[in-house]
Structure formats: structure tokens, C-alpha cells
A and B are shown apart, each in its own frame.
Chain A
Amino acid sequence: MGVSRRNFLKIAGISLLGLGAKPAYDVFAGRDLPEFAQGEEAREAKRWAMVIDTRKCRDKDGCQDCILACHRAHNVPDVGNSRQEIKWIWTEPYENAFPNQEHEFLEETLKHRPVIVLCNHCDDPPCVRVCPTKATFKREDGIVMMDYHRCIGCRFCMAACPYGSRSFNWGDPRRAPKEKNPDFPTNPNFPTRTKGVVEKCNFCEERLVAGLLPACVEACKEKALIFGDLGNPDSDVRKVLRSHYTIRRKPGLGTGPAIYYIV
């Protein structure tokens, strides 16, 4: 006999292994693995940023176009209670928006000028640093994004944000008073949030991937909001920044806001 018992077992074992590999081969061969891709119309940037021309807001006192457009696009309800209000974009008096950049004898018009404020999508966002679940994170293109699926409602980010850009859902947004929100949810194609999560501006990330501009920018008839890529020297924001004096909110904190103001 040429084959010893020992060798027979070895060969038999190896053959069995081969048989076992066949089903595994069948599963993977001839079937490509699925892939993920950006939309074809997606707008891309090295660093998204916005310039707000507050002079144009002054001329249209009480204008709420950008605020309404944003809040309608993202199903932000009016909870009718200023202590629990939810806001993605709103107005602050000049001295609240720019503390340390005001003084007693400020130009009259400046003093009373409402300043549009929103999430600054900072270079070095303190909210991202404190979030224990990485629900808030910074994208490559500079957008400080929230993953509502991961938010546990601890509100560390709210304590960390020096601009008050974050709101907490004290109640279910779908139960906000009907008389103030007759047609809520205003945009059935964007999810609402739920009780117990924090929310904030997302720089209209969902519109950018569809090739659109942010809702607030699109809504402003005065063109007071200018949006674009800081990484591109020919972009609208870079052009405006080159030709105007601009300031940012609380620059001394070193957060590096991406929202610039012409005052």
C-alpha cells in the first residue's frame, strides 16, 4: 500500500477544506459588493463659509425671510415659550452678538441693528470636543454636523458652545402648539427631531448634496447672506471678504467661526 494512514487523513482533510470553500466562493464571486457615492449634483467645497451683510438687514427692519425659510425647511416648530424655544437661525441685538466689540458710544444705527446669528461651523468646535457619543462631528468640508441618531441629550455641547447655537427639545416637537404651527411638519421630506435631543443648523447639508444653496441664502431677497467655499479664491465669499471689512463673533475664544459679518 502506497498511502499511509497518516497521509490519507492529511489528503482527506485538505479535500474537505476545499469543499468548504466552495459555498464561500459562490457567495462572493459574481456579485459585486454594494457601494456608496455622493449624489451627482452635490456641491463640494474645501471649507464652506458665509458672509452676512448686516447693513442690508438694517434697511429691512423686522424681516424674517431667512429665519422662516430655514425653520420651515427643517421642521423647527415654534414652541411658544422663550425658555424652551428651538432655533437654528435667529437675531440678536448687536451688543449680544458682538460682546467686547461694542462700547458705550456706538453708532446709533449699529446699536439697534438686529444681527442674524446661526451656528458658526467653527474651525475648532468646542461642541465636538465635548460630545461623549460623537453625535456632533466635523466634516471634511467644515460643516459641524449632528447625527441625531446618536444624540443622548446630555447637553454638554450646549454648555460648550459660546454662541448659544444649540437648542434642546424639552418636549416632542410634534406636540408643539397647533395654533402656532398649523401645518407642522412643514417639510415632510425632512425628519423632525424628538423629545430629548439637541439640534442646530446643519448649513443645509441636505440641500448642498442636492445642488441647492442653503434655504436662508435662497430666501433673502436683499442678498444679505453670501455663501461659498473659503478654499476657492474665486468664490463669492472670498470676493466679498477681499473687498469689505468683516468681523466674527467672539474671535478671542479661538473657535474660528466660519460666519463673517459686514457691519
Chain B
Amino acid sequence: MKMYDAGKIIVGIIVFVTLITFPFWYNRGKAAPSPKPKLLTREKECVEPTPYMKTSHMRLLNEWRNSVVREGNRLYISSNGKKYSMNLANTSLSDSCMGCHSKKAEFCDQCHNYVGVKPYCWDCHIEPKEKR
């Protein structure tokens, strides 16, 4: 069997394969580092158990939002009976999300940048001022 222009074709195939596999061998042996949210709070536990918070904090926030705005509630009694103020960003309440997790950039943003979500909440809710 004869192959016309064999040289060009083979070079072309090599260039093509190299380009298409570029991301694989370029990142060889290096996984993107997983995010390390810094806790920076003296408290021992979150509003709900940590595994639940990891996976479902956005759902909890939606529940809080509806309960506060639509039902006029302000207190959340968690599954282990502790009371928290249902509030996202009010730092005068020590038991709001940002009351405990006071540095958004070092906590929330660490994960969110990694997974590429940008909650629009901060268009309205005011980020706690970073104190240095």
C-alpha cells in the first residue's frame, strides 16, 4: 500500500495529537490545589453539622431568607437546639454567618473561586470590612 504525502500527514498527526493532549501532559502530576477556607473563629461548631454546611449552606441560606423576609422570623433553632440570628451579613450580631466567618475573602471566597461560583448576594448584602 502506498501513502501519498506520508511525511506531511504523519507530522500533521503528531502536531494534532500534541495539541489535543497539551492540558494533560502540561499538568502532569500536579492536581489543582483544593481550597483551604480559613475558619478564623473561636467557636467550635457551625450552625449545623459541618458536612451538612459544606454541601448545603446555600440551601440553608435560602431557607433563612424566606423565613426572615416572608414570615417575619429572626431566630433559627438548629437541630441540636442552639439559637442563632438568621442573618447573612450583619456583623453586629455575633451569631450571623459573617459574625462568625468575618473574613469573606479568606473563607467563603476560597471555595467559591475554586468552583467558580459568584453568589450575587453581595450586590446588596454588605461585606464585612476587612480589619488589618
> Which A residues lie at the B interface, using CB under 8 A?
31-40, 42, 137, 139, 141, 145, 147-149, 172, 185, 188-189, 191-194, 205, 209-210
Of the residues B65, B70, B74, contact of A137 by C-beta under 8 Å:
B70
Number of A-B contacts (CB under 8 A): 70
A188 and B129 within 8 A (CB):
yes
**B123 partner, pick from A38, A137, A139, A194, beta carbons under 8 A:** A194
- Checking A34, A185, A189, A205 against B72 with a beta-carbon cut-off of 8 angstroms, the contacting residue is A205
Q: Which residues of A contact B109 (CB under 8 A)?
A: none
Query: How far, in angstroms, from A147 to B124 measured CA to CA in the complex?
Result: 13
Contacts known (A37-B75, A149-B65, A188-B126); A32 close to B81, Cβ less than 8 A: yes
Give B contacts to A, CB under 8 Å: 48, 65, 67, 69-81, 85-86, 89-92, 123-126, 128-129
List the B side residues contacting A188 at CB < 8 Å: 91, 126, 128-129
Contacts of A40 in B (CB 8 A): 75
Does the CB pair B91–A139 fall under 8 Å? no
Our pick among A34, A42, A189, A194 for the contact of B90 (Cβ within 8 Å) is A189
Tell me if A149 and B69 are in contact (CB < 8 A): yes
Known: A139-B72, A149-B65, A209-B74. A33 touches B79 (CB 8 A): yes
Residue of B nearest to A173 (CB): B124
Listed residue (A39, A42, A139, A210) with the most chain B CB atoms within 10 angstroms of its CB: A39
Known: A36-B75, A148-B124, A149-B65. 19 other contacts (CB 8 A): A31-B79, A31-B80, A33-B79, A35-B76, A36-B77, A37-B75, A37-B76, A37-B77, A38-B75, A39-B74, A145-B69, A145-B70, A185-B126, A189-B91, A191-B126, A192-B126, A205-B72, A209-B72, A209-B74
Compute how far the CA of A210 lies from the CA of B125 in the bound complex, rounded to whole angstroms.
19
Cβ distance B73 to chain A, nearest Cβ, rounded Å: 4
For B70, list chain A residues within 8 Å (CB).
137, 145, 147
Q: How far is the CB of B33 from chain A (nearest CB, A)?
A: 33
Across-interface contacts of B89 in A (CB, < 8 A):
189, 191
**Judging by beta carbons under 8 Å apart, are A38 and B74 in contact?**
yes
Contact sample, A vs B, 12 pairs, CB 8 Å cutoff: A32-B79, A33-B79, A34-B76, A36-B77, A40-B75, A148-B124, A185-B126, A188-B126, A189-B90, A189-B92, A191-B89, A194-B123
